[in-house]
Amino acid sequence: MMNIAVFASGTGSNFAAIAREVKQGKLSCGIKLLVCDNPRAKVIDKARKAGVEVFVIDRGAFAEKKDFENAIAARLKKDRIDLIVLAGFMRLLSAQFVRAFHNRIINIHPALLPAFKGGHAIADAFAYGAKLTGVTVHFVDERMDHGPIIAQEAIPIKDNDTLAALEKRIHVREHKLYPEIIRLFARGRVRVRGRKVVITRK
């Protein structure tokens, strides 16, 4: 069984969606570890209720970013993690860390990359007046919201939309798409060729 580590800093809605599918036997993998850099994050309680081990690590306890990441990497090695799943982890990983886990880190972003990068993608698309946004799952590389795209789903922004309504629709789509991509990854059906990702769904 493939072991995954979920990295999160906040409420953990995507963590909960993944954990639910694991519990229901829909994913042929296990959440071995939650890595959280925020000791007050709500995701910690969600992980404990799901029976997932929690690794809370405070960036402020380390003089250098590389020491912080080395401590995380050591824990991932100890737990034999196969795939890192970023789910609202609010830190940019270094190039060194990304290279150490090449093509084994994925992220979900609430926009159709390369549009609306960054931590306020839904609000940015809404404020811009875009007619279409969506959800992207991608491999993580050395640049923010830049790695090879695995899957995207488009979501229209309606004329009478509110920001809250749009956020809700995007989160619903995230909670379906992310587990599906993890399921395909666990079955060996996601392959990377340069910046092109090939998915076999059969």
**CATH number (domain holding residue 182):** 3.40.50.170
Q: CA–CA separation, 180 vs 169, rounded Å? A: 17
Does residue 162 surpass a pLDDT of 80? yes
**Encoding tokens for residue 76?**
């991932």
Between helix 163-186 and helix 13-23 the angle, nearest 10°, is: 40
| Average confidence (pLDDT) over 92-113 | 96
Mean residue pLDDT across the chain: 94
Q: Which residues contact 112 (CB under 8 A, 6 or more apart)?
A: 132, 133, 134, 135, 136, 152, 154
Q: Any catalytic annotation for residue 109?
A: yes
Number of domains in the chain: 1
pTM of the model: 0.94
Rounded (5°) CA angle 15-193-92: 40
Of 20-29, 37-46, 131-140, the least confident: 20-29
Of 103-112, 128-137, 139-148, the least confident: 139-148
Question: How large is the greatest C-alpha to C-alpha distance in the chain, in angstroms?
Answer: 50
Q: Residue 86's domain spans which residues?
A: 2-199
**Encoding tokens for residue 93?**
């990983």
**What band does 202 get if pLDDT is binned at 50, 70 and 90?**
low
| Chain center to CA of 128 | 25
Of 43-52, 105-114, 119-128, 137-146, the least confident: 137-146
Catalytic residue, chosen from 109, 146, 171, 175, is: 109
Q: Check residue 195 and give its pLDDT.
A: 78
